[in-house]
Chain A
Amino acid sequence: MNQRFKSSLIDKLLDNSIEIDELKWLREDIDAADLSCIIQRIYDLNESYILKISAVNGMLEKLNVIKNKRRNNRFFNKIRKGFRQVSKSDRKIILAEGDSWFNYPIILTDLVDVIGMDKDLAVYSIASGGDWLLNMLTARVYVEELSLLHPDYFLISGGGNDLVGSSRIAAMLDPTGQSNEYARNEWAQYMIGKVHAAGIQLNEDDFNEGLKYISKDFFALLMFFHLQYYFLISEILNAGNKGNKTPKFENIKIITQGYDYPVPSYESGIGVNPLHWYVPLIRKFQQNGNWLKTPMQLRGINDAETQRKIVYAMIFLFNEMMIDIGHIFTDDKKMPGRVFHIDARESVGENGWTDELHPKAEHFMKIGRVFKQCIKNPTSATYQQVFVVKEFNK
């Protein structure tokens, strides 16, 4: 693809007027430089500044390192005891890259903790609470670890902080409630068309109401996520595949996740259940509301129901974007059974949150068990390559 044509496609992506075929052409030809160019234009900031605001540092970085160190010690203890044996195919090596759903450094038991409890699964974690997908793809720590570990599964959780970090969500909103950006986005409509065709549950009223407040920058970011994930997954599945050679990670499987619908809130979380003693503490410490509620109010969206519907529409589309990635590798790329998605939507519920973004421990455990189900029995998906958490916990 010539550079001028590619630039015109990027312009159309940023304008939210790109067509499905054009998005397909673009993703087939995308490289790290293009991704960098797109993100600078979405955030309207230069790359070094974006990397600066997205960097995980300070106390959080230290806590992330401590938690990963302990987990990875456990990983190597298993390896030293002869965990990996060709004859024992039920034992799996897992590499986890992601954000706070994979590494919540204090108090909670997060998804990777739950997966790592299984004696047949050895998890090596490079996940960091607060990390952006952008950082993960820029730092590319996973590349080195993939080569070293040759894992059976690669787990990735990212995008949440790119959307809500540094109050960025405020820039993704149209406070007039008159947005028609969804109608301009052929690809988003195509994904929702598939939802209807498959009979997947969608609250049309909430979704449509939420869409009215979502600006074209969100759709640009969503398509950017699509390109990032495509780039990442394609790179892993096709590593060393130049000239029709056998791919470097021939049997690796990839699992993604797409969060549940969080609730924008300033609530303190004080309650009578002593098992949830940590909720008010974390909410106080994190200043609950800073991720979602305040940025929305910053744009003049004060109604709690409207805020909830906006988040509903965003998370619904984010999950469908991830599911679509799986379809692409299954259908277009003829790589069935390689990319899976854990659909946690409606599994946490309105009262199941520790803070605005993270479920209470029992919900992390519930979702984590579905990850384990996916790893141990990948053919037991709810539909196609998707594992729907609420279906597994009925």
Chain B
Amino acid sequence: MRLIAWLCFILLAATLKYLSWDFQHFNPGIPNDFAFETAGKDETRAIVETWDTSSWGQHSVTTGVKLFTFIDFAYILAYSYILVTLSYDRMQLERHTFLNNLLRLCFPLAILAGLFDVVENILFLFNMEHYDLAGGYISISPFTYTKWTLIAIVALIWLISKIKSLIIR
């Protein structure tokens, strides 16, 4: 199960990385997905219009970004699972009670980060379709920042646990 998750994770990450690179390859300097996630209403409109008018092979970049987002849904599943299992493995090595409990807390934090990412992707697709309609824009950035904050917390807990284990053997 873990092996499958890791294979999926690597494969999907490589695919997403390749797509990002390919968008830039065809259109150097074109705004990426992160710029879109953190953009305000006017910037959103500008980015979508740029994507609509830029080509990605025989398609527009907009089509490519949609494909990117759908692949990202699968990637979310894979990375959430991996974050949980890595936290679990670290937890089973952690002798300090409080840190052990914090590593256990990483399970729901990782799942929550994944859920925020799902919401982010749904809003991403929504904004791409409706940015020019009245009420057709919903800010994604709160979800993006919350997701990254959760992931940062998880990484910080791992780091503290790892450093502690190197100091106190």
A interface, CB within 8 angstroms of B:
107, 109, 113-114, 116-117, 119, 274-275, 277-278, 361-362, 365-366
Q: In the bound complex, do residue B104 and residue A278 qualify as a contact, i.e. CB atoms below 8 Å apart? A: yes
Which positions 63-117 of chain B face chain A at CB distance < 8 Å? Answer: 91-95, 97, 100-102, 104-105, 107-108
Q: In the bound complex, do residue A275 and residue B104 qualify as a contact, i.e. CB atoms below 8 Å apart? A: yes
Q: In the bound complex, do residue A119 and residue B97 qualify as a contact, i.e. CB atoms below 8 Å apart? A: no
| Cβ-defined partner of B100 (8 Å) among A116, A274, A277, A365 | A365
Q: In the bound complex, do residue B108 and residue A277 qualify as a contact, i.e. CB atoms below 8 Å apart? A: yes
Known: A119-B169, A275-B102, A275-B104. A365 touches B92 (CB 8 A): no
Q: How far is the CA of A274 from the CA of B95 in the complex (A)?
A: 20
Minimum Cβ distance to chain A for residue B38 (Å): 28
Known: A117-B93, A117-B95. A361 touches B105 (CB 8 A): no
- Known pairs A119-B169, A275-B104 / 20 extra A-B pairs, C-beta < 8 Å: A107-B104, A113-B92, A114-B95, A116-B92, A117-B92, A117-B93, A117-B94, A117-B95, A275-B105, A277-B104, A277-B105, A277-B108, A278-B107, A361-B100, A361-B101, A361-B104, A362-B100, A365-B95, A365-B97, A366-B97
By DSSP majority rule, is chain A's interface helix, strand, loop, or mixed?
helix
Q: How far is the CA of A277 from the CA of B109 in the complex (A)?
A: 11
Nearest chain B residue, comparing its CB with the CB of A281: B108
| Cβ-defined partner of A107 (8 Å) among B102, B107, B169 | B107
Nearest chain B residue, comparing its CB with the CB of A362: B97
* Across-interface contacts of B91 in A (CB, < 8 A): 109
Q: In the bound complex, do residue B169 and residue A275 qualify as a contact, i.e. CB atoms below 8 Å apart? A: no
Q: How far is the CA of A275 from the CA of B109 in the complex (A)?
A: 11
* Across-interface contacts of B95 in A (CB, < 8 A): 114, 117, 365
Q: List 14 A-B contacts (CB under 8 A).
A: A107-B104, A107-B107, A109-B91, A116-B92, A117-B92, A117-B94, A275-B101, A275-B104, A277-B105, A361-B97, A362-B97, A362-B100, A365-B95, A366-B97
Q: How far is the CA of A366 from the CA of B97 in the complex (A)?
A: 9
Nearest chain A residue, comparing its CB with the CB of B1: A66
* Across-interface contacts of B100 in A (CB, < 8 A): 109, 361-362, 365
Minimum Cβ distance to chain B for residue A77 (Å): 13
Minimum Cβ distance to chain B for residue A129 (Å): 15
Known: A109-B92, A117-B92. A274 touches B105 (CB 8 A): yes
Q: How far is the CA of A366 from the CA of B101 in the complex (A)?
A: 13
5 closest cross-chain pairs (CB), A and B = A275-B101, A362-B97, A117-B95, A365-B97, A113-B92
Q: How far is the CA of A370 from the CA of B93 in the complex (A)?
A: 17
Minimum Cβ distance to chain A for residue B112 (Å): 10
Nearest chain A residue, comparing its CB with the CB of B107: A107
Nearest chain B residue, comparing its CB with the CB of A277: B108
Q: In the bound complex, do residue A362 and residue B101 qualify as a contact, i.e. CB atoms below 8 Å apart? A: yes
